[in-house]
Chains A and B, each alone.
Chain A
């Protein structure tokens, strides 16, 4: 019974995902798939942040930083030339393990890159390690102190991306190669692979959603919500609140890094704006609009708002729109936009007139 209640909506969503793809191919509007694919990757980050904020009750204004760690490391390792380090022990080991890619530049010089799979794994593992090291001291803080500390982390990552030659400075990294997941299945922005990539992104998002839904309905999820409810009582029943917060922080960082890595291969590049603080604010705003402790609501808003933003519907006010959304939600619907009942809105109107 409970099984059905949890997984039926996921089957429904899968149906919609397939339906949308068929519809776009029938109506010759497959170009929508590009933004739907990107929106799915951003939403992967956002549902991870949702569990951290809505369930464990910890804010992070640094998640664009974890996204950037995933994206930038994947990009740099698969695109930068490492032939200067050819003779180092690490490189020789990776070469024999088949983790390197030997190419030639346009002028016939040998180029040495790391294969996308190991690059992606390195990127995500680095994000996880940084989340651990950052989380241990920072999660001792509460409320706006935690917000400030994670904001500081986000700014550091942004400045590093902007300043490091390894990460392409202000230009970022372009011409990132496709990420071959299996033979014949690659994460790439190639038009001919558009449908395939739509399904890769949504498959990954659905997988992430299932994992997180399972988590919040488990013993651990209950314990996370109890921390939100009363940290003191949560400790008293034996929940190691510090550890639970830390693990949730790390999981959400891993989701962000995976999203960053995949989206970078899909876009064929990444720039410093992806690491920007405004991106982090945007993710927090979307979690708030979706209702914080409401994974489905956050997912829906994540897809919708990212899609609208990527279609350019907010024009040059893109960032401002998300700032305004955040303010309005905090003022009028702290439980998220889906909590506003249409009937209630009408009722207030009638009273006014």
Chain B
């Protein structure tokens, strides 16, 4: 599905991503973990097209995608959510999700201006599809509420629904459980597993270890931009290098 090899990214002198390579197999859930500033979000931006790698290759469904514009990558079948939720302000929850259907619909400027019957029909389909997704995520009651005024957990759900509306092959989730309480986190975990059942491959960044250990098939550990481990959850939990990083972090936290 997705393959990175020897990917580097420099920000001036900062080596934010250092020689990272891994594969994400179709139909699996893969997690990227690592301390703050390890380069996880940067890696996502490289994959989704927001940033261009300094060197290395990224292939998606067998096609090199490094350096493509984000909208091109999206239309190839990759959806994402953002660490700091990015909903469209001034638009309702429903409209936000309807925007997720953008690449799955056709009507252009002229069809829109002349409101052709086919545009009319397409619009109805989009609306129905988006409502169904809001129902799936238990937020249908907020369909007509301005999305950015919703509670945090609901905003995450809207963003997730928007990504699912894209009917992607690969879904990138940047800390989907950040800021959520344990119940909401459990919901998200269930939802991610359902997503995989729908045939969508998932790559996620997450700090909540129990969530990651629970749902991931494989885990990549990043530290200071480098991949220091890649394995199944049980092995990662036993890996001395990984333990050292996380213990080190705990010690700092204790000080």
Contacts and interface: CB of A to CB of B under 8 A. Distances in A.
A268 B123 CA distance: 44
Contact of B99 (A222, A241, A293): A222
Which of B82, B88, B114 lies at the interface centre, i.e. has the most chain A CB atoms within 10 A of its CB? B88
Contacts of B6: none
Contact of A225 (B74, B91, B114): B91
A236 B109 CA distance: 20
Contact of A214 (B88, B108, B113, B166): B113
Contacts of A220: 107-109, 112
A218 B89 CA distance: 18
Given A225-B90, A229-B88, A237 B111 contact: no
A6 to B, nearest CB: 9
B90 A238 contact: no
Contact of A218 (B86, B123, B162): B123
B113 A211 contact: yes
Nearest to B126: A219
A310 B120 CA distance: 40
Contacts of A240: 69, 71
A218 B69 contact: no
A230 B91 contact: no
Given A236-B48, A238-B166, A215 B109 contact: yes
B87 interface: yes
A219 B126 CA distance: 9
Contacts of B237: none
Given A236-B80, A238-B71, A215 B113 contact: yes
Contacts, number: 101
A241 B113 CA distance: 18
Interface in A236-292: 236-241, 247, 251
Nearest to A223: B102
Interface string B99-122: 110110101110111110001001
B175 interface: no
A235 B71 contact: yes
A211 B115 CA distance: 8
A146 to B, nearest CB: 19
A218 B87 CA distance: 19
Centre residue among B102, B119, B126, B166 by max chain A CB count within 10 A: B102
B50 A219 contact: no
Nearest to A232: B86
B99 A211 contact: no
B113 A238 contact: no
B115 A218 contact: yes
Given A219-B122, A226-B99, A237-B103, A251 B88 contact: no
Interface residues of A, number: 28
Contacts of A297: none
Given A211-B114, A251-B109, A238 B75 contact: yes
Nearest to A247: B109
A327 interface: no
B166 to A, nearest CB: 6
A235 B102 contact: no
Nearest to A243: B71
B122 A225 contact: no
A116 to B, nearest CB: 25
Given A215-B112, A220-B109, A222-B95, A238 B88 contact: no
Nearest to B120: A3
A239 B102 contact: yes
B109 A230 contact: no
Nearest to A221: B112
Interface in B211-250: none
A229 B89 contact: yes
22 contacts: A215-B109, A218-B119, A219-B105, A219-B107, A219-B126, A222-B91, A225-B88, A225-B90, A226-B99, A228-B90, A230-B88, A232-B86, A235-B69, A236-B50, A236-B70, A236-B71, A236-B86, A237-B100, A237-B103, A239-B99, A240-B71, A247-B109
Q: Considering the complex of A and B, which 10 residue pairs feature the smallest CB-CB distances, nearest first? A: A218-B112, A229-B88, A238-B74, A238-B103, A235-B70, A233-B86, A214-B115, A211-B113, A220-B112, A238-B75
Given A218-B112, A220-B107, A293-B90, 9 more contacts: A218-B107, A219-B102, A219-B119, A235-B71, A236-B74, A237-B102, A237-B162, A239-B102, A247-B109
